Amino acid sequence: MGVFTQADQALEWRGGQEIVRIEPWGPGSLRVRGTVWETIRDDLPGALIPREAGPAAPAAIEIGAGSARITNGGLTAEITASGRLRFLRPSGEELLAEMTPHFTGPPTRRYKSAAGGMHQFEVRFEARDRERFYGLGQHQHGRLDQKGAVVELIQRNTEVSIPFLVSSRGYGFLWNHPGIGRVELGTTATRWVSEATRQWDYWITAADEPAALISAYGEVAGRAPMLPEWASGFWQCKLRYKTQDELLSVAREYKRRGLPLSVIVIDYFHWTRQGDWQFDPAEWPDPAAMVAELDELGVKLMVSIWPTVNPASENFAEMADLGLLVTNEHGLGVQLASWDRGSAVRVPMSFYDATSSRARDYIWSKVRDNYFSCGIKTWWLDACEPELVPEQPENLRYHIGPGLEVGNAYPMLHARGFYEGMQAEGEQEIVLLCRSAWAGSQRYGALVWSGDIDSTFEDLRRQIPAGLNIGLSGIPWWTTDIGGFKNGDINSPSFRELVVRWFQFGVCARCS
């Protein structure tokens, strides 16, 4: 049997080698952490704003002989002497409870030794037959209610992992692990799994309405800044504008025809090399003049920025020497083979390490000098999962830890670098079009779009629950490629109708 103690506003339980800490973290909310090491750590990466920066939340703690409770507003956590956790409303109604382990089987909270002094960890909660689950980011399974689904917690093109869900039973739950894992929302159990972690960490809140749950989540993970009015208009992009003259001719034609146009986008290969983060002067000879003309037309210019670095880039050697690139645990430091300007074959690309503040400052300095200085203030952070082929997160080493432990945080920290860079330049209207996100990305102005989806009616249908669920994950700004991204046939009557229907969906989504 375990031992209960109170430390300031926290309730702690120790049993054998395990320690569990439960503490208030925002109104009506609790943070729960545990480990089999000696102490709970406060320095590990996650989505929650440090408590000293958030609102104070007094808690009531009761310690008895066989159990202990901590109550914060409308949420109570109870832990038994054996260490089993459950969460209740003040009325006593049970919201969520760990499963009672089989008397001959492993415990509900399972630790399995992993490399680097970490553990693979999983916890199982009791399942409720009529419970419904929403959120968890953006996924292409086509389900709004995700009860019964197995959702991988990993970033991929079109799959955005945000481990926050809203339950129909009146609670919100954040799995505060930036590493790789999964959640199984089964009919006999709900199981959360982290492939590698030093300690487990989740946050739970209770409220009567979904909006209140999401608001409470915003209190502890951050709220999105206000969307600028111009950003709610029509954005125009194609694969791809190849020259400054081509882009300006299209913008002028929109103006001549009286068609509304808020943003026009310069896609990839406008650069000299991936990792140079600059225009090719042969095709974009005067970016400042281009921006000035677009401003007169009432059009914002957005530029695609990739996190990849070509070994032939003028910045590669310096970044490698300064330790600003994602490295590998084994083998060569290569994460993606990709085409680039002037290459006849795919080139082995590295990624800059967005988990390093020095690396974020470095890339922003290049973007500031080569784009922002020309008047460009809107950024498309494409391929920011990052997109890895083959997918081997266990082989990656980031500044803040191994890939299995921290890899999902990459898109959030990538957005942070641009958001803070813009703020340092005095900018307030910051919009970052991102292909991926993690918990907390909203506080850095991330506007997510659903990635490289197919041009089919089936994919259009799947975007509706995908967009609703990412909105329920704390990301209020979301969109799609109208007509989808790939495999559309402009000569097909079905595809032409699809584009019309997708335009209708886009307009309705913005009106809502």
* Residue ranges of domains in the chain: 3-221, 229-430
The CATH topology of domain 229-430 is TIM Barrel (3.20.20)
Q: Which of 385, 387, 405, 459 is catalytic?
A: 385
Q: Which CATH superfamily is domain 3-221 in?
A: glycosyl hydrolase (family 31) (2.60.40.1760)
- Which residue has 């089919």 as its token pair? 456
With 70 as the cut, is the pLDDT of residue 509 above it? no
**What pLDDT does residue 54 have?**
46
Return the SS3 of 266. strand
Residue 350, strand partner residues:
309
Residue 8 bears catalytic tag: no
**What pLDDT does residue 335 have?**
83
Q: Which of 201, 382, 405, 459 is catalytic?
A: 382
Residue 264, strand partner residues:
236, 301
Q: Which of 152, 329, 361, 452 is catalytic?
A: 452
With 90 as the cut, is the pLDDT of residue 43 above it? yes
Give the pair of three-digit tokens for residue 30.
């609790």
Give me the mean pLDDT over the 299-328 stretch: 97
CA-nearest of 255, 257, 353 to 309 is 353
Give the pair of three-digit tokens for residue 337.
């083979």
**What pLDDT does residue 210 have?**
95
**What pLDDT does residue 53 have?**
46
With 90 as the cut, is the pLDDT of residue 168 above it? yes
Cis preceding-peptide flag for 390 (omega within 30 of 0)? yes
Report the range of poorest mean pLDDT among 97-111, 218-232, 404-418: 97-111
Residue 382 bears catalytic tag: yes
Whether 275 and 304 have beta carbons less than 8 Å apart is answered as no
Return the SS3 of 201. strand
Give me the mean pLDDT over the 22-50 stretch: 95
Return phi, psi of residue 469, to 5°: -70, -35
Q: What percent of the chain has pLDDT over 90?
A: 90
Residue 452 bears catalytic tag: yes
The predicted model scores a pTM of 0.96
